[in-house]
Amino acid sequence: MKGIFLAVCLLLSTVSAGCLSAQQSTGVGAAGGAGIGAGIGVALGNPALGMLIGASLGALGGAFAQDHLEKKQKEKEAKELQEQLFEGQKELAKGSLGPTSKPTDKSFIEGHYEYVMKKKWIDTSKKERVWVVEKVEGDRRIEGHYENRLVPSGYWEAYEEKIWVPDHYE
């Protein structure tokens, strides 16, 4: 009976993980496992324990299934990229790629200087010496004294900066 319960929880979480994020498939697996576990728990006489075990197994199954699907997707994308790279190398070896193969729609821009506006924070914070009057805190008496306190202030300053923009296509 427990084997059937485990198989149903894992199957539910695997099926639900196909189109959901990792958190969502974990949640769906946990919810489905909790429902099935509660039903089996009622039949065995302890629905709370069945629900707890079902939710745990469903969450694990959903997370594992989503992780497996994400790994498969990454492997597929890496394989496609490798094939594209291989095809590009074959074309380059044939001589069909290169600067004379086909005109580009982009224009070449030589390196140059540009002026850009930037901002920086000018900190004008000051320390002030402040008199603190005598006071009583609980059963302690604190005599009057001076304290140094920071008074935060400042402003943004705009300035223009000359930067180098390297060669590029636009």
Instruction: Tell me how far apart the alpha carbons of residues 148 and 166 are, in angstroms, rounded to a whole number.
Output: 50
Q: Tell me: the pLDDT tens digits for 73-93?
A: 999 988 888 888 888 777 777
- Residue 38 has a pLDDT of 73
Q: Strand locations in 16-111, DSSP E?
A: 108-109
- Residue 102 has a pLDDT of 55
- Residue 157 has a pLDDT of 94
- 66 is written with which tokens? 């989503």
Enumerate residue ranges in the chain where pLDDT < 50.
17-18
Instruction: Tell me how far apart the alpha carbons of residues 64 and 146 are, in angstroms, rounded to a whole number.
Output: 63
Q: Reduce the DSSP state of residue 97 to 3 states and report it.
A: coil
- Residue 131 has a pLDDT of 93
- Residue 17 has a pLDDT of 46
